[in-house]
Chain A
Amino acid sequence: MKDRALLLTYLAAVVAASVVHDPLWLGLALVTVLASSGRGAWALTRRVLLAALPFAVAVALGWMLAEGADWRAALTTPLRLGLRVLLMTALAFRVLPLVSLPRALSFSPTLRFVLVLATSQVLAFRRLFTDFRLALTARSPRRVGPRVALRHGAATAAWFLRRAEHDATTMTEALDARGFFLDRD
């Protein structure tokens, strides 16, 4: 119940951030979210800036160049947009780690089940992908060329697809052995 309430609060806050357009209010909300993490405020600020600033700055600079003559217009829009993006990112980093998503989605057993299985596989595949990338770099005496990178990409994709077939079979057998499909009937 606590997890679902937190998730709903987060979603409501994100919606609210998308209907507020005054940079002052957006800035105040951002400071409040960052300050709410207490001693972790600096770490949260750094994480938010690293995640959201490059894209927000690229859009802001493009807009400022396009609207250069009108300084008021050139500043207001990027400020509003930048603060909103930073606020939404800060909300995600501040609230979502406190939410257990499987518990929050317990209203749909199928969704919860798929999400748990998928997340475990995603995390495992992400680690394996990093291993493949590091292995390619370690075994290449020179910088990896386009042909090798393309072949490596295709081989990696094929490996993941083959692994997926195998994982789906073993997962089904494991669930079947534990009576999961009987419970669902």
Chain B
Amino acid sequence: MHIPDGFIAPQVYAPAYGIAGVLWAAGLRRLRRTLEPAAVPRLAVATAVAYALMLVTIPLPGGTTAHITGVGMMAALFGAWQTFLSLSLVFLIQALMLGDGGVTALPVNALAVGLCGGLAARGALLLIPWRTAALFTAGWIGTVVPAVLVALVLGWQPRLAVAADGQPLFFPFGWSVTLPAIVLPHMLVGVADGLVTVMAWRALGRRSGP
């Protein structure tokens, strides 16, 4: 679901960089101060796992496939903070090294998918007492919340940045298009994400709660 370069106005990506920048700096400072030697390697490996989880494709009705986000699983294993840092690094590596995604969309993607998705998934894990239901909901909500936010940000562009003749300067479609076009398919992807989260957790043989 993450946004490519060229669709987001500077009025959105500049403040998003400000917010994400403060959180990234706090995360790095926290990492530097930690006394645990494994913290840095664990973040690096969690980043690679977040990337690998995004490669997993699941079938959708109609013969198509979709990529899971793995946000629910990341939040269950590493917590919301590390999910945000790991996914931010994934988007950075994709934008600057793998030629995928983009630098103007990076902070919006990091905040929507990494921070809000991670927090929503972590919240589901903490609030729902039944483990299977909690894991499924974490997988589902970790996909749907970022999709809603991305749809809201994209749909906001034609209201925010228009030319003198009223034509949109960036992504041209409003909320009436972006919300159903992005959120509805991701509600289905979220079901698959939830199922994969539950099944992967069982395959890992975890007995204690997330």
Contacts and interface: CB of A to CB of B under 8 A. Distances in A.
A14 B95 CA distance: 12
Interface string A78-112: 00110011011100110010010100000010110
A134 interface: no
B167 A88 contact: no
| Chain B interface helix/strand/loop/mixed | helix
B127 interface: no
Interface residues of A, number: 68
B93 interface: yes
| Chain A interface helix/strand/loop/mixed | helix
A117 B13 CA distance: 28
B51 A114 contact: no
Interface string A135-173: 000000000011001110111111011101001110110
A151 B173 CA distance: 37
Given A88-B6, A89-B5, A164-B48, A154 B203 contact: yes
B40 interface: yes
A150 B48 contact: no
A160 B53 contact: yes
Nearest to B94: A122
B169 A80 contact: yes
Contacts of B93: 115, 118-119, 122
B58 A150 contact: yes
Given A160-B52, A168-B38, 4 more contacts: A59-B172, A81-B6, A96-B99, A150-B195
19 contacts: A14-B102, A59-B171, A73-B167, A77-B167, A81-B7, A85-B4, A93-B99, A101-B97, A117-B45, A125-B48, A129-B55, A149-B65, A154-B202, A157-B73, A157-B196, A160-B52, A161-B204, A168-B45, A176-B37
